[in-house]
Structure 1
Amino acid sequence: MFHYGWASKLNRAHQPPVLCEIFGNTFRPTAFSPSWRTSTAFALASQMYESRNFSAMPILADALQDAGCDSADVLEHCRSPGPHVRGCWVVDLILVKQ
């Protein structure tokens, strides 16, 4: 079986950070469960999207985790220092913009 871990590392290493912010890992799409889209997660994502202030991303990670999110990609992205911008793939998944 072929392991694609090298492709993921190469992908992140050679893309500008803003591309990873908008598209995530293009070699390994992340599944997003609708059950993680709670009213709290939706409200946080909406507020960040409208204000373009993404300082609440770690709080969003906590809300998603409380909703049962166990996706390392989603949680690590929310807890990363960014940059976070409008078009963030996690925020867009919550707001059903993708």
Structure 2
Amino acid sequence: MFSPAVARDVLGNPFRSVAVDPSWLTTNVLTLAAQVYASRDFSAMPILADALQDAGCNSAEILDHCRAPGPHVRGCWVVDLLLGKT
């Protein structure tokens, strides 16, 4: 059963759509996102936020979500968005 926190991690905010600027999808960002997705180790989410910010991301929704303590689970809306899984 989903807890509300897990539901927020997977669904994000249904009242705000967030788009990814293709310029944010650097090799570093995509590699980190793929590693998080494959390993299910979400401890690198703050590092992913830093990489996104270095790539020019200024989306508070994305950066705040990556830096939030979680929980983060497979299906995290940010990771899926970056990897084109949504």
TM-score, length-scaled by structure 1 = 0.83
After TM superposition, what 4+ stretches of structure 1 lie above 3 angstroms from structure 2? none
Shift of 1:47: 0.6
- Give the root-mean-square deviation of aligned CA atoms: 1.0
Trace 1:4-43 onto structure 2 (pairs within 5 A).
Answer: 16-43=4-31
**Structure 1 residue 44: deviation in Å?**
0.5
Candidates 39, 50, 60, aligned match of 2:38: 50
Q: Within 2, Cα distance between the matches of 1:31 and 1:47?
A: 21
Greater Cα shift, 52-61 or 25-34: 25-34
State the structure with bigger RCO (CA 8 A, min sep 6), 1 or 2.
2
Secondary structure at 1:86 match in 2: coil
Aligned equivalents of 2:50 and 2:61: distance in 1?
Answer: 14
- Is 1:75 paired with 2:45? no
Secondary structure of the 1:32 match is coil
Q: Which runs of 5+ in 2 are unaligned?
A: none
User: Where does residue 5 of structure 1 map in the other structure?
Assistant: none
User: Identity across aligned pairs (percent)?
Assistant: 64
Deviation at 1:93, TM superposition (A): 1.0
Q: Number of residue pairs matched?
A: 84
Larger radius of gyration: 1
Structure 1: runs of 5+ lacking an equivalent: 1-14
Matching residue of 2:54: 66
